[in-house]
Amino acid sequence: METKPQKIMTFLMFEGKAEEAMNYYLSVFDQSEIVSMRKYGAGELGPEGSVMMATFKLADQMFMCIDSHVKHGFTFTPAISLYVTCETETEIDRAHEMLSKGGGVLMPLGEYPFSKRFSWVRDQFGVTWQLTLA
């Protein structure tokens, strides 16, 4: 049975940290892999070796990312975050610890009226994650 490509995919734009971020996220989530990656070569628009376009999978969810060769006056904002439903307390504890390291905690890991166990964190790359227990 052929699977259809994911119609809507999260797209993350970094400035020189795309490959580092992908590899970090792969270390946080099981069933994850870099699916494809094309890097800039000598004489191309972006710095040689930076990510022109990549797709990666985190827990069977597809993402795209690039290293922008243009410097922007913006970065990631908590107005949009990745929402992760964790199956076990061990999984949410590990994700919380790893993703907040070098970043920050927007809402501490704990019990809230809407979730038995929840956390909202910003990772070292500025991406925000809402973690909840199934």
CATH code assigned at 101: 3.30.720.110
pLDDT tens figures, 69-79: 999 999 999 99
CB–CB of 18/49 below 8 Å? no
Q: With 90 as the cut, is the pLDDT of residue 1 above it?
A: no
In this predicted structure, what is the pLDDT of residue 2? 62
Number of domains in the chain: 2
CA distance 54 to 33: 11
| 74 in any annotated domain | no
| 75 in any annotated domain | no
**CATH number assigned to the domain comprising residue 48:** 3.30.720.100
Q: Which of 43, 47, 49, 59 has the alpha carbon at shortest distance from 20?
A: 49
CA distance 28 to 87: 14
| 4 in any annotated domain | no
Average pLDDT, the chain: 95
- One domain, residues 62 and 94: no
Global confidence as pTM: 0.91
Average pLDDT of the segment spanning 76-98: 97
Domain coverage including residue 87: 82-133
| 48 in any annotated domain | yes
Average pLDDT of the segment spanning 52-56: 98
| 94 in any annotated domain | yes
In this predicted structure, what is the pLDDT of residue 30? 93
| 18 in any annotated domain | yes
In this predicted structure, what is the pLDDT of residue 3? 66
Q: Which of 6, 21, 3 has the alpha carbon at shortest distance from 75?
A: 21
- One domain, residues 90 and 129: yes
Percent with pLDDT over 90 in the chain: 94
| 60 in any annotated domain | yes
In this predicted structure, what is the pLDDT of residue 60? 87
